[in-house]
Structure 1
Amino acid sequence: MSDYSDKPADFLFPESVKQWFLQMTTALMGGNSDEMLRLYDKEFATLTSSYFKQSPWPDPDSDAVLSLSDEDPVFLTLYTQIYYRHMFSKLSPTNEFKKASWDNYCAIFEGILDKSLELDVMPSQWLFDIVGEFVYQYQSFCQYRAKGSKTDESMWNTKDVLSYLHRIIKYSNIKAVLAAQDANQPQPEVPSESVKELGYFALICLSRAHVLFGDFFTALCILKPIDFKKRDQLYQKSYSCHVSVYYHMGFAQLMLGDVANAVRSFAKIILQVHRNRAYYSKFADYDQVNKLTEKALSLLMLALYLCPGYTVEEQINALLREKLADKQSAVQKGDISVLSDIFVMAAPKFILPNVQAESEDVSKKATALQLKLFLELVQRHSALPSLHSYVKLYRSIDVEKLARFRGVSVAACLSEIMAFKLKAEALQSDVHFFVSDSIVKVDEQKREQRTGQYYMTQISKLQRVVNSCATSD
């Protein structure tokens, strides 16, 4: 039998894996943020696909990792974070690993807050993934706990999770920074640019956490300091943050009945990803980003059902026809079972933040509650599609006749018309009408000149061809 005692600790590692540890440690110590991003977002995924599909990466406490990293404490703390991130995404972590991941997150946040851990060279994508993965693991733990599984109350409890996010936001001074930007004033003092970005991403992930709770009003209030109409916002530095913030914001707007803004939020990120597929496909998390975009498209379809007459980009309509034609047809008919199925599939995975189930599995109760609230929203909008179709069909129609078509009393029909009238502007309907002497009169149909959009679409198509040619070269 061979004697391994005289072999180096890392002798069983593939050479490319050894080089990853050495290069990442060198990039971290040398302050090379671009190299760190390449090793983190691309090389790590490549090595995972080659060697760690069914197994974890090397243990951070192993002699081999300690040797390859020169026992650098900053590297080991950050590597531990992505070590557990890989484990949560590819494997089934035990309670022991969940506790260890929690402890490592506590070490990261406490280190940032007491200034013992400096992240000045961290790439923006990694900074977002730190807080994004933090909320994801918390979400997973809440779902696990709601299934009646025994858990340790000292880890992943809601109070501590929210406390860390709030403390990072406060320490980063990001709210003052955003306020100064809106007022075109000098930037207030911040601990560092990396901490400022981390605080910004923590603000977005805190909003996401409240969406998971079903607290949509608070979720949107948290995002108020961010001016989404301005270009060059920090969320654009992270492709996954860009998609996540619009998806969760759009969902909160939808559930609060702000359907037109929900459509705009979903459409913005759907078009962004679709028009720049060549760019997004280069990243390791493209599959997750694409999956979230597909969910946004399904939710947009539901939102369009609730606000008939809202005009969207032709590219959006083409994507709906290509990917969801059958479901869209059923939705337009008001099929409640299809509406429910799409909602459950495309909505976030809701959580019961403070529920510890003893034996019964209550993990699905949060989703059931949000589905109930959504169907109530559908009920409140149920008359709109039918009314919109009649108003589009006629130049004028008697209210009594319209009531017969609708199968309701004249008084009920008049109430529906008034409700539609009130919502038409908010929903930006493509028709305008008024009621006079019990006659519904359509006095105009809104038509928008879309020449500019046509050229923008063609330019986008040309850019995709150029990118495709560049990639093939």
Structure 2
Amino acid sequence: MYGNDDYTDQSGYDSYGYGGGTDYESHTVDNADSASVDYDRQHYNVPDMVKKFIVYFRDCINEGVIYEIQNLYENTFPKLTEQYFEKRPWPEESDIAHLVEHDPVFLSLYKELYFRHIYARITGGPTLEQRFNSFCNYGELFNYILVASEPVPLDLPDSWLWELIDEFVYQYQSFSQYRARLLKKSPEELENLNSNNNVWNVLCVLNVLYSLVDKSNIKRQLEVHASGGDSDSVAGDFGRHPLYKKLGYFSLVGLLRLHSLLGDYYQAIKVLENIELHRKSQFSYVPACQITTSYYVGFAYMMMRRYSDAIRTFSSILLYIQRTKQLFQSRSYQNDQINKQTDQMYHLLAICLVLHPQCIDESIQQVLREKNYHEKMYKMQYGDLAEFEACFLHACPKFLSPSPPPADASMDDYVKEPTMHQTQVFMDEVRQQKMLPTIRSYLKLYTTLPLSKLATFLSQGQRHGDSGKTWNLNEAIRELIIHLLCFKHKMKNVVWTKGTSGLDGKFQSGSELDFYIDNDMIHIADTKVAHRYGDFFIRKILKFEELNRKLHQIKI
């Protein structure tokens, strides 16, 4: 396409799942889709300032001036977007190719930004043709990076590399959801989709991400780094190159996200087994990557019923967000996504604290009290299943099916099936624990309590408004014993203690109460650890002194 045989070699596509059947000419869509482009391509005039930007952008990329590329990417490009392209696409490749002498690498990078802008800003989203073309562009870009016999002469800012991988997974997610909505699609559109099942295929996406991981040898590097060794000693030529090393790391996070979207939570955390999840990584200076990692790790832990690990993960990242909030305000591209994930993590944290109560940082607890999370937690503690489901649906990722719908499918809500399935799995777990908060509230009031008395308390609540139903004490006691065994079982989770793998851990009881039954009597012990108020006040004093020093320096 670009007149460069090495760059457009189709053999590379076959290696990474991009078959030759995905060329641009094979993708045709209904004229109505094409008409959604709200400007005349034949008479499109590129503003002079945009022309200068594109030429200068290409020169900086070719010269590898990272700090200037980052400034152009994070500041100049968004400003030009707001000024000239707020509600319309950037110029197409054909409009600007002559400005950059048909540079194939730059044009692929430019088209990645071009399609990303369409997904984010254009009313109605991308057309089917644009979805196909974006996939082909990713194929060409990753093919250029992966099939090279030596590291390619390309270096990009960390934020761009992260957003490149993040957007790649997002566009696959968007296409899968688009593909699953069948009701409003024309027969021609359905035929086009069914004849191009290799476009945005889950195996292609997984293959690219795993290929980037393998090419960079990032897993071995992280393993050596965690043991205190020199990661460069095992990196190889590709792994030592910043482009491959960073793409490999970000691909691990992309795999975490993708496996979570597919409902494979064990595999989601396993791909990060060489990353010390509970410590700052060497790439934690990319805030959006760190926040995304914590969101999906915490969610995977929650779905695996490892509530203590989920609470620790959510609390740690929410504290980080609180302390670095001003940093996010200065960044423009992923602010909305960060704010959304922050709200989702507060909802997930509220769910975990209801199911597995434990002490958390006072500042996080204060946010839960001040916002409307406290009311939601109150409802969930009293067994409001509808509130559990509403919080879960609000906070969970938009799950995907790994396969497209059948060619003859006629269901309108096929797109909802994966989410409905995961919600059902979660709600089944909640129903098993529905009585536990009530039992816990009674056990907190006593040191010894007869089984018959607690069974009577619980039965009174259940029999309220149903006085015509006969009540049997022995049956109620048997049900109570089942609930108490459930309490013991559910409060004992696998908890990470040490090791580089997030799957490592030991069974620990997370309950502040312990009890045993002897001669129909429940003996209760309070194992709650007292708050360390001294540490809390010392931290606040040190923070106040630091603030006072800064104010004094400003005055001077």
Normalised by the size of structure 2, how large is the TM-score?
0.77
Q: 2:444 — aligned with what?
A: 392
Distance 1:460 1:389, change over 3 A: farther
Return the match for 2:80 from 22, 47, 56.
47
Return the match for 1:428 from 510, 517, 533.
510
Give the residue type in structure 2 aligned to 1:409.
A
Q: 1:5 — aligned with what?
A: none
Q: Is the 8 A contact 2:451 2:521 kept in 1?
A: yes
Return the match for 2:355 from 306, 309, 321.
306
Give the residue type in structure 2 aligned to 1:37.
Q
Give the secondary-structure state (helix, strand or coil) at the position aligned to 1:435: strand
In 1, the alpha carbon distance for the partners of 2:73 and 2:387 equals 40
Shift of 1:450: 4.0
Report whether the alignment pairs 1:346 with 2:346.
no
Structure 1: give runs of 5+ residues left out of the alignment. 1-8
Question: Structure 2 matches for 1:394-473, cutoff 5 A?
Answer: 394-407=446-459, 409-426=476-493, 428-444=510-526, 445-456=528-539
- Quote the sequence identity (%): 30
Shift of 1:42: 2.6
Once the two structures are superposed, residues 308-332 of structure 1 have per-residue CA deviations (whole angstroms, 9 ceiling, x without a partner) of 3x11111112211222233233222
Q: Is the 8 A contact 1:275 1:464 kept in 2?
A: no
Q: 2:301 — aligned with what?
A: 253
Q: 1:6 — aligned with what?
A: none
Question: Structure 2 matches for 1:51-450, cutoff 5 A?
Answer: 51-62=84-95, 65-91=96-122, 92-115=125-148, 118=152, 120-148=154-182, 149=185, 150=190, 151=193, 152-187=196-231, 188-190=234-236, 191=238, 192-234=241-283, 236-284=284-332, 285-308=334-357, 310-324=358-372, 325-357=374-406, 358-361=409-412, 362-407=414-459, 409-426=476-493, 428-444=510-526, 445-450=528-533
Give the secondary-structure state (helix, strand or coil) at the position aligned to 2:486: helix
Q: 1:32 — aligned with what?
A: 65
- Taking only aligned residues, the RMSD between alpha carbons, in angstroms, comes to 2.7
Shift of 1:380: 1.9
Once the two structures are superposed, residues 56-84 of structure 1 have per-residue CA deviations (whole angstroms, 9 ceiling, x without a partner) of 1121221xx22443433222111111111
In 2, the alpha carbon distance for the partners of 1:89 and 1:198 equals 23
Deviation larger for 386-395 or 131-140? 386-395
Once the two structures are superposed, residues 422-471 of structure 1 have per-residue CA deviations (whole angstroms, 9 ceiling, x without a partner) of 4435362233333333332333332242432444456668889999999x
In 1, the alpha carbon distance for the partners of 2:335 and 2:128 equals 29
In 1, the alpha carbon distance for the partners of 2:269 and 2:173 equals 19
Distance 1:184 1:376, change over 3 A: same
Q: Is the 8 A contact 1:278 1:468 kept in 2?
A: no
Q: 1:4 — aligned with what?
A: none
Distance 1:212 1:418, change over 3 A: same
Shift of 1:307: 0.8
Shift of 1:244: 0.6
Q: Is the 8 A contact 1:27 1:35 kept in 2?
A: yes
Give the residue type in structure 1 aligned to 2:169.
V
Distance 1:424 1:125, change over 3 A: same
In 1, the alpha carbon distance for the partners of 2:167 and 2:298 equals 21
Shift of 1:113: 0.9
In 1, the alpha carbon distance for the partners of 2:371 and 2:120 equals 27
Shift of 1:119: 6.1
Q: Is the 8 A contact 1:125 1:237 kept in 2?
A: no
Shift of 1:370: 0.8
In 1, the alpha carbon distance for the partners of 2:476 and 2:235 equals 64
Deviation larger for 24-33 or 213-222? 24-33
Deviation larger for 448-457 or 278-287? 448-457
Distance 1:143 1:466, change over 3 A: farther
In 2, the alpha carbon distance for the partners of 1:86 and 1:183 equals 42
Structure number with bigger Rg: 2
Q: Is the 8 A contact 1:10 1:18 kept in 2?
A: no
Give the secondary-structure state (helix, strand or coil) at the position aligned to 1:443: strand
Give the secondary-structure state (helix, strand or coil) at the position aligned to 2:275: coil
Once the two structures are superposed, residues 269-302 of structure 1 have per-residue CA deviations (whole angstroms, 9 ceiling, x without a partner) of 2221122110121112112111111111111111
Structure 2: give runs of 5+ residues left out of the alignment. 1-42, 460-474, 494-508
Normalised by the size of structure 1, how large is the TM-score?
0.90
Give the residue type in structure 1 aligned to 2:369.
R
Aligned residue pair count? 458
Give the secondary-structure state (helix, strand or coil) at the position aligned to 2:330: coil
Deviation larger for 459-468 or 310-319? 459-468
